[in-house]
Amino acid sequence: MKRTRRHLRHALAALLFAFPFASLRAQFTSPGCCGGGGDFGVNGQWKQIDVSNVPKKDRVVSIHNASFGSTRDLFAEINREFGKEWVKKTSYSLTVNGTHGSTFAQTRALLEGGDGAEADLVALDHPGAIDILAAPGNLLPADWRSRLPNDSVPFSTTVVFLVRKGNPRAIRDWSDLVKPGVSVITPDPRRDSVGQWIWLAAWASALRQTGNDEAAARARVLDLYRQVPVLNSTSAGSLATFAEKSTGDVLLVLESEARARLRASGGSRFEIVTPPASLRVDLPVAWLDRNVDKHGTTRVTASYLIWLFDPKAQEIAVRHHYRPSDRDIARKHAGSFPSLEIVSVDDAFGGWSAVRERFLSSGGILERDYPALNTREVVSRN
In this predicted structure, the answer to whether residue 382 has a pLDDT above a threshold of 60 is no
Q: What percent of the chain has pLDDT over 70?
A: 84
Q: What residue ranges of the chain are covered by domains with CATH 3.40.190.10? A: 2-153+284-309, 157-281+338-379
Return the minimum-mean-pLDDT range out of 15-24, 89-98, 217-226, 257-266: 15-24
Q: How many Å apart are CA 46 and CA 148, to the nearest integer?
A: 19
pTM, to two decimals? 0.85
pLDDT value for 51: 64
Q: At what angle do helices 21-28 and 2-17 cross, to 10 degrees?
A: 120
Residues 6+ apart with CB under 8 A from 380: 191, 233
Give yes or no for residue 37 having a pLDDT over 60. no
Q: How far is residue 202's CA from residue 328's CA, in Å, rounded to a whole number?
A: 30
Strands (E), 209-346: 230-232, 250-254, 270-273, 277-283, 285-287, 323-324, 341-343
CATH number of 157-281+338-379: 3.40.190.10
pLDDT in tens, 300-347: 999 999 999 999 999 999 999 999 999 999 999 999 999 999 999 999
Residue whose C-alpha is closest to residue 212's, from 362, 361, 350, 368: 350
* pLDDT for position 89: 85
d(CA 205, CA 237): 25
Average pLDDT, the chain: 86
What is the number of residues in the chain?
382
322 CB-near residues (< 8 Å, 6+ apart): 74, 155, 156, 157, 256, 283
When mean pLDDT is compared across 49-63, 81-95, 238-252, the lowest value belongs to 49-63
The strand pair at 155-164 and 93-101 is best described as unpaired
Class of the CATH domain delimited by 2-153+284-309: alpha beta
3-state secondary structure of 321: coil
Largest CA distance in the chain: 73
Each residue's pLDDT tens digit, 40-81: 333 344 455 566 677 677 778 999 999 998 999 999 999 999
Cβ-contact 317, 156 below 8 angstroms: no
